[in-house]
Amino acid sequence: MRRIVWQIRQPPRIRFGRGSAERLDVPDGCLVVTSGGARGRGWLEYAGLGDLPVFDRVEPNPSMETAEGILAEFGDGISCVVGIGGGSSMDVAKYCAFKAGWKKIMVPTTFGSGSEVTRISVLKVDGKKRSFHDDGIFADEAVVDPAFIDGADMEVVKNSAIDACAQCTEAYDSTIASPYARFMCDAAFCMLEGGILGMDRDRIAMGSMLDGLGFGNASTTLGHALSYVYSNEGAPHGRALASTTAVAHRFNGSRYAARFSRLVDRLGFEGVRLKQDRGEAADTIMEDRKHLDRNPVPVSRDDVVRLLEEVDGA
């Protein structure tokens, strides 16, 4: 019998619950990294971070230049970063701290990326999204407080929630999923499904954290591979996945195919349509071995063209 060795990788400390991020106890030398909306929404005051140095110009789909700019501007005297915001803010914060050797505390305010508990940071390099993977990118502490979801815009909630659903179901099916990853991914999906069908925001927040622990120990696959050509043309990540992961799950014969599509219908997503030629897009997608090699079913270029037709409703 082949011996199978697997491991569990996650941040050393995760705090979850309403009020967990209220008046955070942070060490000296902390820099706060966030997006423009942080002050207006009262996040910094709630978390007791109002008096700390702040970089609050993280943009959606942030670039490597943003991370490098922070390192150049705040290098001296900083030994810890608090990343507070959506996946973009946390990805920039984690990457800066990884490069500079700072301690990392991550506080998500939108729920879906799972970035607070993953070893992944996604940044744009030369205009294209690139994901960096390293154990050094893990937060030292993730503080997940569902209170942040109360005031969140429904558009943000639904895009993040469907991303989390796509991540955990793709990862469950991935060829590298360990028993632990499958366990967490299934628990995440059940929690998210209940949260979405019952519009229970606390369950969505918890499902999103479980999703990060699950897919962070495995990998997303075909649904995500198909989505990036749409995202690079401007479609929001969640909206692209609502179509691409549904189509990919049917192709893979995933056990989650029907349940995922039901959630897409419940949340109500507009479809996506490719602007570029499908053959060209298929060539780009075929280069994405990181996702395709972990798909449970082998995928050919012809398959990809057909799947793109299906996504486009052609």
State the nearest-atom distance from the C-beta of 233 to Zn ion, in Å.
17
Of the candidate spans 48-56, 125-133, 160-168, 176-184, the one that interacts with Zn ion by CB under 5 A turns out to be 160-168
What are the b/e assignments for 19-51, b being 16+ CB within 10 Å? ebbeebebeeebbbbbbeebeebebbebbebee
> How far apart, in whole angstroms, are the C-alpha atoms of residue 299 and residue 307?
10
Of the candidate spans 159-167, 182-190, 201-209, 286-294, the one that interacts with Zn ion by CB under 5 A turns out to be 159-167
170 binds Zn ion (CB under 5 A): no
193 binds Zn ion (CB under 5 A): no
211 binds Zn ion (CB under 5 A): no
Residue number closest to Zn ion, CB atom: 163
91 binds Zn ion (CB under 5 A): no
163 binds Zn ion (CB under 5 A): yes
The pairs formed by 228-237 with CB atoms below 8 angstroms and a separation of 24 or more are 228/129, 228/284, 228/285, 228/288, 229/274, 229/276, 229/281, 229/284, 229/285, 229/308, 230/272, 230/274, 230/311, 231/129, 232/128, 232/129, 233/274, 233/275, 233/276, 235/272, 236/159, 237/159, 237/163
Which lies closer to Zn ion via its Cβ, residue 49 or residue 166?
166
Which lies closer to Zn ion via its Cβ, residue 116 or residue 163?
163
Which lies closer to Zn ion via its Cβ, residue 26 or residue 195?
195
Which lies closer to Zn ion via its Cβ, residue 102 or residue 244?
244
Which lies closer to Zn ion via its Cβ, residue 74 or residue 111?
111
145 binds Zn ion (CB under 5 A): no
State the nearest-atom distance from the C-beta of 224 to Zn ion, in Å.
6
Residues in contact with Zn ion by the rule CB under 5 A? 163
